[in-house]
Amino acid sequence: MDALPARADVVVIGGGIVGASIAFHLAEAGVDDVVVVERGEIAGGSSGKPIGGVRAQFSDTLNIQLAARSLAAYDRFGETPGADIELDQVGYLFVLRTPRDVARFERSIAIQNEHGIATRLLSPAEAHALCPLLDPGACLAAAFSPSDGHARPAVAAGAYVDGARRRGARVVTRCDVTEVELRGGEIAAVHTSHGSVRASVVVCAAGPWSSEIGAMAGVELDVRPIRRQIAFSAPRPATPARLPFTIDYDSTFYFHNAGDRVLLGMSDPGQATGFGRDYTEEWLPALRRCAARCAPSLADVPLSHGWAGLYEMTPDANALIGESRSVGRFLYATGFSGHGFCQAPAAGEIIRDLVRGVPPFVDVTPLRAERFAERAPILEANIV
Ligand SMILES: Cc1cc2nc3c(=O)[nH]c(=O)nc-3n(C[C@H](O)[C@H](O)[C@H](O)COP(=O)(O)OP(=O)(O)OC[C@H]3O[C@@H](n4cnc5c(N)ncnc54)[C@H](O)[C@@H]3O)c2cc1C
């Protein structure tokens, strides 16, 4: 793409959906000399997921605000930055099996409703009517938010990057950040495999690799990689074309349409942390067992292929967004723990404002990287 300049106002490290959104929002606001440095290709990390869910169905108020803001931005994506990300607002349907989970969702639905999200609790029959693959005998109730859905993360990242470049940002791919140089506790330069760029502001948007970038600047970013896999059915033309994004809350098994296929996924409790992201098949028997309990017709569905990526986990499975307290002008937006696509537009807006010293639309202090040392985690129940 572009050549690495000798100096920049802001260096964004990472060209996934989060770094792309940050670059776009900075460039759109008129911040000069924004440079994105990406060691592979744009959306070559987790943001390369072929299709991703976007939802505001969280339990924590701040997560709901970030996600609602992002959903609104994805809804306007055709105008700004201008691309068809195939947003399909089929709704998220959380399938609930126990009275405890129903009570938990009743509480989070009340908070979502206060923030204008029209989530409601459905009976098993109503849930089955929306998602005919669901076994209504498998649940006590289900939580449904009609404005949630799915879209194309890689298309969104590419469009943000293109929009940022049209507004003057530079995007340097195949360029590995190797060192962040400090002088007197302040950012001085970023050294890369393509040379060095002098800069006074650095934003870490390196997803699962963020703790390495933080360490280069002496900032602790507690982000750990863990492989997560999805599988695609063979084409199933008879499947209803607009299934909700259906999640069995108890097992984390989920499914939704992906063109004429069904996408299936699940959190594998046996998965160890690490950077490996080859797709393998040993998780499929467990996936099929969970499918049998929730959506029996998917238990034996022929699968055609799969995809593996990395979740970027923090200790409380919530994002880190803010500015380091110890290193001046080192900012970060990372650790989204599997909901980075849901929150990337809002994260871009917030980092734009923190860079410019403007109060963001919401106070992100609770998401500071220091919260673990301070024993102040975020308590979010709707993590899958
Ligand atoms: C199977 C799976 C399903 C998922 N489903 C969903 C979903 O439904 N909804 C949702 O919201 N999220 C989902 N996620 C999570 C989502 O994909 C991530 O949260 C999101 O893509 C994170 O974006 P990012 O930009 O922070 O990270 P990434 O996309 O990983 O980008 C980070 C970039 O930093 C670059 N980088 C790292 N180190 C360096 C360096 N030293 N120098 C230069 N560049 C560097 C990397 O090359 C990479 O491109 C899913 C993830 C997986 C794996």
CA of 337 to the centre of ligand 1 (A): 9
Q: Residue 5: what residue type?
A: P
Report the atom number in ligand 1 closest to the C-alpha of 157. Answer: 25
Rounded to a whole number, what is the distance in angstroms from the first to the last CA of the chain?
A: 35
- 214-269 pLDDT, tens per residue? 999 999 999 999 999 999 999 999 999 999 999 999 999 999 999 999 999 999 98
Q: Is the CB of 38 under 6 A from ligand 1?
A: yes
- CA-to-CA distance for 294 and 305, rounded, in angstroms? 22
Tell which CATH classification among 3.90.1150.10, 1.10.3720.10, 3.50.50.60, 3.90.1520.10 matches the domain 10-49+153-223+316-371: 3.50.50.60
What's the whole-number average pLDDT of the chain?
97
- Of 12, 36, 49, the one to substitute when testing ligand 1's pocket (max ligand atoms within 8 A of C-beta) is 49
Coil vs helix vs strand at 216 = helix
**pLDDT on residue 241:** 93
Instruction: Flag whether pLDDT at 379 surpasses 90.
Output: no
* CA separation for the pair 332, 338 (Å, rounded): 17
309 CA distance to ligand 1 middle (Å): 8
Q: Is any atom of ligand 1 closer than 6 Å to the C-beta of 74? A: no
Overall pTM > 0.95: yes
- pLDDT tens readout for residues 347-370: 999 999 999 999 999 999 999 999
pLDDT digits (tens, 9 = 90+) for 19-42: 999 999 999 999 989 999 999 999
**pLDDT given for residue 42 in this prediction:** 98
Ligand 1 atom nearest to CA at 312: 19
Copy the structure tokens of residue 76. 């306007």
User: What is the C-alpha to C-alpha distance for residues 253 and 95, in angstroms, rounded to an integer?
Assistant: 10
User: Could you tell me which residues come within 8 angstroms of residue 166 by beta carbon, excluding any fewer than 6 positions away?
Assistant: none
Specify the pLDDT at position 329.
97
With cut-offs at 50, 70 and 90, classify the pLDDT of residue 384: confident
313: pLDDT strictly greater than 90: yes
Q: Ligand 1: which atom is nearest the Cα of residue 342?
A: 11
Best residue among 58, 341, 343, 383 to mutate for probing ligand 1's pocket (most ligand atoms within 8 Å of CB) is: 341
pLDDT digits (tens, 9 = 90+) for 84-123: 999 999 999 999 999 999 999 999 999 999 999 999 999 9
pLDDT in tens, 121-163: 999 999 999 999 999 998 999 999 999 999 999 999 999 999 9
345, pLDDT greater than 90:
yes
**DSSP H helices in the chain:** 17-28, 61-75, 99-114, 124-130, 153-166, 210-217, 284-294, 340-356
Nearest CA to ligand 1 atom 33: 14
Q: What is the pLDDT of residue 103?
A: 97
CB-ligand 1 contact for 152 (6 Å cutoff): no
User: Does residue 212 have a pLDDT over 90?
Assistant: yes
Q: Which residues contact 1 (CB under 8 A, 6 or more apart)?
A: 165, 170, 171, 172, 173
Alpha carbon of 139 to ligand 1 centroid (Å) = 33
Position 15 confidence tier, pLDDT thresholds 50, 70, 90: very high
Question: Ligand 1 mean position to 8 CA, how many Å?
Answer: 24
Q: What is the pLDDT of residue 148?
A: 98
Rounded to the nearest angstrom, the distance between the alpha carbon of 131 and the centre of ligand 1 is 29
Domains in the chain: boundaries: 10-49+153-223+316-371, 92-146+226-312
Q: For position 55, what pLDDT does the model report?
A: 97
Atom of ligand 1 nearest to the CA of 176: 42
The candidate with the shortest Cα–Cα distance to 105, out of 92, 88, 116, 87, is 92
Was domain 92-146+226-312 assigned CATH 1.20.1440.230? no
pLDDT at 1: 81
Q: Which residue has its alpha carbon closest to ligand 1 atom 6? A: 52
pLDDT for res 35: 98
Q: Is 345 in the pocket of ligand 1 (CB under 6 A)?
A: no
- Residue 382: the pLDDT is 86
Distances (CA, A) of 339 to 26, 63, 299, 357, 369: 22, 10, 26, 26, 17
